Amino acid sequence: MKKIAIFVEGQTEQIFFHRLLIEIAGKNRIQINNYKLSGGSDASPRVRSFVGRYENSEAEVFVSIFDSGADNRVASDVRDNYDSLVKSGYGLIFGVRDVFPQFSLVDIPKLRTGLMFRIKTKPVEPVFILGVMEIEAWFIAEHSHFGRLDSRLTDHVVRGALGVDPKTFDLRNLPGPADSLHIVYSKVGRAYRKRKNQVEDTVERLDYAEMYLNFHQKFEDADVLFTKLQEYLS
């Protein structure tokens, strides 16, 4: 069985990657366990709490998604769990975090270098995926979801709310994508404040085939993510 570990910075990314992996790997091939990591200090280890699973008795791919609870814990959680994951047969390890609000676009090279500090790379080299500036930029880029969320969110309304056209604008330059998503949703009385039900509403309506086929050109990190998954799962 192939095994994938994904460390994410929070609930939004855990919900999104859970659904993304099901769509990419196929509902009949995959099992996913979700965990929350908390606590941790020099005197006590991090606590792992089980929060749910997508189960399939005939799964060929096993995925563990760990919510690190903070963007600055993702790399250290990858580092601290690396040996046990490799020993357990995990062949692909991801770390996922946003760039905003701690860093700006110009800081990304420094951020990427910092994420690899003291990270083992053999026999498995962990891959860090950045949401530039936040993973919500991917949600906005999959602009067809707006109409599925509410028919009143027409292209005209979305462009007016964002101030840019998500079909053509380089959304990596949108400083606060989550706030922008909230502004768009607010046009029809909805909200996006990263609450679980709000994230699930959005994630449920994304077109994953569109993201898998066309995000390679839009986001460098999506290209890395989808290429690594394709190589490992093929």
**pLDDT value at residue 108:** 96
DSSP state of 180: H
Cα separation of 18 and 176, whole Å?
A: 23
* Span 112-146, pLDDT tens digits: 999 999 999 999 999 999 999 999 999 999 999 99
- Residue 222 pLDDT grade (very low, low, confident, very high; cuts 50, 70, 90): very high
Rounded Cα distance, 34 and 185, in Å:
28
Q: What mean pLDDT value characterizes the chain? A: 95
168 contact partners, CB below 8 Å, separation of at least 6: none
The answer to pTM > 0.85 is yes
Query: Where residue 26 falls among pLDDT bands split at 50, 70, 90?
Result: confident
User: What is the structure's pLDDT at 128?
Assistant: 98
The predicted model gives 154-161 an average pLDDT of 98
Q: CA-CA distance, 9 to 197, in Å (whole number)?
A: 18
| Banded pLDDT at 28 (limits 50, 70, 90) | confident
Q: Could you tell me whether strands 30-38 and 47-54 are parallel, antiparallel, or unpaired per DSSP bridges?
A: antiparallel
Asked whether the predicted pLDDT for residue 208 surpasses 90, the reply is yes
The Cα–Cα gap between 199 and 220 comes to: 23
CA 4 to chain centre: 14
pLDDT at 44: 82
- Given pLDDT bands bounded at 50, 70 and 90, which one contains residue 24? confident
